[in-house]
């Protein structure tokens, strides 16, 4: 069995690489997913060595027999043979019976962002406002995916394609969503109050690249009724948490949190309104931290670097 990596540098493997600032290099990100078996890491890294690649970062893990790995690579000017690298990886994918995807990237470019929504507009609207104002200048919104149609007009106003994916059958829905994300060459995903659970099969493909906002100070009050649970329990402070999505619901590494005080006599409607304003602000903070490459996940905990 392959060993499981416990540390990963977040930010985009398709943007500025860990060896910052060398515009003469050529970069690529390689993802490998499939059933765990012996020798996968060695075969991939040996092939890249033979192709003259430098491995800038590598992260791999095994969960319930499923292997996943992301490799960030670079080549010096004139050393990259794209067709040979692509062809060799395709042959390795067939030999290993695994999914191997290769994406060549450019340093210092804006990160291509997908936004997944359901019906609540506040976080989506905040992302669009921040993009227009330049507060998210390192991000390029590319596409909006939703299991509902309510926010299609907001996407249209922002000039973004809006793709509706019915979510009654999760496996089929996720296949459609992943296909759309790949077609739009997405670097990272923001769940702007997207109210469906993503499977490990989905999350593995964007490890530490899916940012979610949860209306609670995690791990308290998980699930979609967090405000009601907090209200019914009579809590005096309510908060929100932005976190990376993992295979465990609402338990991913926390990026940012904030809270507000519940005043005596405060109605549920007021609590929800206050919470939604805080959700939008905290989600934006988390996205900015991600884009500024100031986050490091170490043993499941986010640290600013």
Catalytic residues, by residue number, are 250
What are the angstrom distances between the C-alpha of 150 and each of 17, 101, 292?
38, 33, 32
Tokens 């249209």 label which residue?
156
Spell 238-250 as b/e; 16+ CB within 10 A means b: bbbbbbbbbbeeb
Q: Strands 26-35 and 99-105, how do they pair?
A: antiparallel
> What is the Cα–Cα distance from 197 to 190, expressed in whole angstroms?
14
> What is the Cα–Cα distance from 71 to 62, expressed in whole angstroms?
15
φ/ψ (deg, to 5) at 157 = -60, -35
Angle (deg, nearest 10), helices 122-133 and 268-291: 40
DSSP string, 190-229: EESS--SPPPHHHHGGGTT-EEEEESSSTTSS-STTHHHH
CB 34 within 8 A of CB 67: yes
């Amino acid at each position: 069995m392959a060993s499981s990596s416990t540390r990963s540098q977040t930010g985009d493997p398709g943007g500025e690489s860990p060896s910052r600032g060398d515009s003469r290099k050529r970069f690529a990100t390689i993802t490998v997913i499939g059933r765990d078996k012996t020798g996968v890491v060695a075969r991939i890294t040996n092939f890249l060595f033979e192709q003259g690649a430098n491995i800038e970062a590598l992260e791999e893990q095994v969960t319930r027999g499923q292997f996943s790995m992301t490799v960030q690579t670079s080549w010096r000017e004139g050393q990259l043979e794209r067709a040979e690298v692509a062809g060799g990886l395709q042959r390795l994918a067939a030999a290993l019976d695994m999914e191997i995807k290769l994406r060549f990237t450019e340093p210092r470019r804006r990160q291509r962002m997908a936004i997944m929504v359901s019906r609540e507009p506040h976080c989506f609207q905040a992302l669009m406002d921040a993009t227009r104002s330049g507060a998210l200048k390192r991000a390029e919104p590319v596409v909006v995916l939703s299991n509902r149609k309510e926010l299609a007009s907001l996407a249209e106003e922002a000039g973004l394609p809006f793709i509706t994916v019915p979510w009654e059958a999760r496996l089929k829905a996720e296949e459609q969503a992943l296909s759309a994300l790949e077609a739009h060459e997405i670097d990272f995903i923001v769940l702007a109050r997207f109210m469906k659970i993503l499977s490990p099969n989905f999350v593995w493909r964007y490890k530490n690249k899916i940012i979610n906002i949860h209306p609670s100070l995690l791990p308290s009050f998980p699930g979609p009724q967090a405000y009601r649970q907090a209200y019914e329990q009579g809590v005096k402070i309510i908060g929100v948490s932005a976190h990376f999505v993992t295979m465990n619901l609402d338990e991913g590494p926390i990026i940012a949190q904030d809270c507000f005080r519940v005043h005596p006599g405060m109605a549920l409607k007021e609590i929800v309104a206050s919470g939604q304003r805080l959700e939008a602000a905290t989600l934006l903070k988390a996205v900015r931290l991600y884009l500024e490459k100031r986050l490091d996940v170490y043993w499941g905990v986010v640290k600013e670097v």
